[in-house]
Structure 1
Amino acid sequence: MVTISDIAKQSGVAKSTVSRFLNGGSVSETTKLKIESVINETGYIPNTFAQSLKAKRTNIIGTIVPRLNSFATSQTLIGIDEQLREYNCQMIISNTSQNLEREIENIYSFAKQKIAGIILLATQITEAHLEATRKVNIPILLVGQQHDAFYSLIHNDFDAGYDIGKYVLEKGHRKIAYLGVSEKDIAVGLKRKSGFQRAVSEHSDCEVHYYETSFKIGEAIKKVPSIIDSIQPTLFVCATDNIALGVLKAASLKGLNIPNDVSITGFGGYDMTEIVYPGITTIKFYYEEVGTKAAQMLMKLINDEKVDKTTILNYKIIERESVDNLSLSNL
């Protein structure tokens, strides 16, 4: 294995000079060319993490995610990684499995590793998050949630909820089951629901029943049959595409036809909602773009450049086959 000492010896310079060069320090142009030539000849690959432990400032970005088995998370990580590569930065990913204690631990752990900054995909912000932020004193960008204590990059969840509400009401649906998640998740659990409720409030003839489940498809599959039996909704509005996929499966197992017997909408724009049949009408969020923007914003924070406190990204409704147009059948 080629070491810094080998590079220094073959370049005819001191080991400290090679180290300074690798860490972006000042060396003469002649020395720089010598070192680069030897590195190319030997195929030497610097240990970025080891370098970072010695440097005052690193090129490593920590990204904390609630779960890895998520379309939204994977697409966001792709955007982050691709953009960081352009900055010659590396990303370390820490998965919390939706455990808040692990999330807090990871913030402290990253700080000890001299991470340059953290991108945090949180489901909620607690006092423990705020305390950790104050103590570590490194740039942290919050993605997917909004809080006054953080720079935030968010989806327009409220307006998306409002627009999907208007959409299904225009299709003539008045007996609706809304299947959401815990309101502790402000973005997914509260804002999407609140936007939908705003749309519903503009119509006096609606019967809406609200239910709560988890982000897991399997939980929705278990929850849905009793809802169908008890209220016979014409439509399910689901807070995520995974929930919508669970509703599709559960309804199919009961022998119901989608959308003739019951309609379904989701949020997210996951690839799977286009592959299944019938395709699911959904709100499409641009997760990879979120990742790209997150990396750009964090680098600005690291470099003490101006960043808006909150940045909101767009969405659009993807109309597929899962929503029946009852307004036509009533003509």
Structure 2
Amino acid sequence: MKTISDIAKMAGVAKSTVSRYLNGGSVSETTKKKLENVIKETGYIPNTFAQSLKAKKPNIIGTIIPRLDSYATTQTLIGIDEELRKLNHQMLISNSSQDLEREIENMYEMARQKVAGIILLATQITNAHLEAFEKVDIPVLLVGQEHKGVYSIIHNDYDAAYDMGKYVLEKGHRRIAFLGVTEKDIAVGVKRKAGFKRAIQEVDGVNVRFYETTFKIDDAIAISSTIIDEFKPSVLVCATDNIALGAMKAAYLKGVRIPEELSITGFGGYEITEIIHPALTTAKFYYQDAGRMAAQSMIQLINYEEIEPLIFSKYKIIEKESVDNL
């Protein structure tokens, strides 16, 4: 198998010249013909990414993720990758490590690399994001967040939280703590809280308090310990499964029995929540399905086909052992 170095040596040019040629950059006609002849003689096949860059219609889809250590992210990526392969496209992944500036830089960099479109697993959308969407001049699709004027695939956070609220109320709970995240995150921080609030407002005699933490389990352990000591709720409704795992650890450390002394719920449907004991009652989101929908929608966009501006993925309340029936 020939390499770029081999091709450069045989053509009598620098490796950078070969790379520039493969990436569609400017080279002289003489050099271009020389490289074409060498590539033809050797049967050299550029890698998929280089081929995509040189093609009139690239087949690389950029996918920007906020973090690598997330169940929701990895499951969504599996769905995107599987569907893109079926559609003869490839995925290029870039991680922002929850750094918004880096996330925006990644968009510009992917555009420079001539990807066909960008799927963004966003945590929040700022004015800088909106400016980048305009400037990159390629299709952009949001997954997990929505914004007016941007194609989006979202989990039905509001309805799932409303159903979770109804569920704990039907179980007889009236002293309730809700542990959410910053409202900069519209999906998890705003919509899940709003849907839950709506359910609570439909019933009289409920004592509910709202708290805030981060997505980190250690932070959830700390705030959950405070909630248990100061408020003593009968149920702690957590905005994510990770936060719920932190709450369960806090209860364990304090010798509080689940669900006899404290019920706990989450959102996500992570696999680990079925393995632990007691298993966690949660609103399950189907992340792989959302990923497949994102891949399908992106291919439609780059083919100039019409799609719905806002698409919802499905969810289901999974009843396990972590909620007591009062």
TM-score, length of structure 2 as denominator length: 0.87
Give the distance between the partners of 1:285 and 1:46, measured in 2 at CA. 39
CA deviation after TM superposition for structure 1 residue 43, in Å: 9.7
Q: What are the Cα deviations for residues 257-308 of structure 1, in whole angstroms up to 9, with x where unaligned?
A: 1000100000000001101000000000000000011000000000001100
Residue 150 of structure 1 corresponds to 150
Residue 120 of structure 2 corresponds to 120
Give the distance between the partners of 1:274 and 1:46, measured in 2 at CA. 45
Residue 66 of structure 2 corresponds to 66
Q: Which runs of 5+ in 2 are unaligned?
A: 8-21, 24-41
Partners of 2:53 and 2:113 within 8 A in 1: yes
State yes or no: 1:82 paired with 2:82.
yes
CA deviation after TM superposition for structure 1 residue 57, in Å: 2.5
Q: Which runs of 5+ in 1 are unaligned?
A: 8-21, 24-41, 327-331
Residue 267 of structure 1 corresponds to 267
CA deviation after TM superposition for structure 1 residue 52, in Å: 2.6
CA deviation after TM superposition for structure 1 residue 59, in Å: 0.8
Residue 103 of structure 1 corresponds to 103
Residue 316 of structure 2 corresponds to 316
Give the distance between the partners of 1:120 and 1:308, measured in 2 at CA. 17
- Match of 1:288, as an amino acid? Q
State yes or no: 1:171 paired with 2:171.
yes
Q: Describe the SS at the equivalent of 2:236.
A: strand
Partners of 2:53 and 2:115 within 8 A in 1: no
CA deviation after TM superposition for structure 1 residue 249, in Å: 0.6
Indicate how the Cα distance of structure 1 residues 43 and 175 shifts in structure 2: closer, same or farther if over 3 A, else same.
farther
Q: What are the Cα deviations for residues 183-238 of structure 1, in whole angstroms up to 9, with x where unaligned?
A: 11000110011000000001120111100001111110111111111010001000
Indicate how the Cα distance of structure 1 residues 218 and 45 shifts in structure 2: closer, same or farther if over 3 A, else same.
farther
CA deviation after TM superposition for structure 1 residue 49, in Å: 1.6
Residue 218 of structure 1 corresponds to 218
CA deviation after TM superposition for structure 1 residue 45, in Å: 5.2
Residue 93 of structure 2 corresponds to 93
Partners of 1:265 and 1:282 within 8 A in 2: yes
Partners of 1:57 and 1:114 within 8 A in 2: no
Q: How many residues align?
A: 294
Give the distance between the partners of 1:104 and 1:225, measured in 2 at CA. 36
CA deviation after TM superposition for structure 1 residue 44, in Å: 6.5
Q: What are the Cα deviations for residues 237-266 of structure 1, in whole angstroms up to 9, with x where unaligned?
A: 000000000000110010011000100000
Identity over the aligned pairs, expressed in percent?
Answer: 67
Q: Report matched runs for 1:213-292 at 5 Å.
A: 213-292=213-292
What root-mean-square deviation, in Å, do the aligned CA atoms of Structure 1 and Structure 2 show? 2.0
Q: Report matched runs for 1:134-145 at 5 Å.
A: 134-145=134-145
CA deviation after TM superposition for structure 1 residue 87, in Å: 1.6
Residue 37 of structure 1 corresponds to none
Give the distance between the partners of 2:45 and 2:206, measured in 1 at CA. 64
Partners of 1:181 and 1:212 within 8 A in 2: yes
CA deviation after TM superposition for structure 1 residue 136, in Å: 0.8
Residue 12 of structure 2 corresponds to none
- Match of 1:153, as an amino acid? I
Give the distance between the partners of 1:215 and 1:277, measured in 2 at CA. 22
Give the distance between the partners of 1:143 and 1:52, measured in 2 at CA. 24
Partners of 1:64 and 1:94 within 8 A in 2: yes
State yes or no: 1:184 paired with 2:184.
yes
Q: Describe the SS at the equivalent of 1:173.
A: coil
Give the distance between the partners of 2:43 and 2:160, measured in 1 at CA. 51
CA deviation after TM superposition for structure 1 residue 116, in Å: 0.3
Give the distance between the partners of 2:218 and 2:292, measured in 1 at CA. 31
Residue 33 of structure 2 corresponds to none
CA deviation after TM superposition for structure 1 residue 53, in Å: 2.8
Residue 298 of structure 2 corresponds to 298
Q: What are the Cα deviations for residues 137-160 of structure 1, in whole angstroms up to 9, with x where unaligned?
A: 100000011111210101111000
Give the distance between the partners of 2:238 and 2:67, measured in 1 at CA. 20
Residue 19 of structure 1 corresponds to none
- Match of 1:159, as an amino acid? D
- Match of 1:270, as an amino acid? Y
State yes or no: 1:200 paired with 2:200.
yes
Give the distance between the partners of 1:130 and 1:316, measured in 2 at CA. 32
Partners of 1:130 and 1:149 within 8 A in 2: no
TM-score, length of structure 1 as denominator length: 0.86
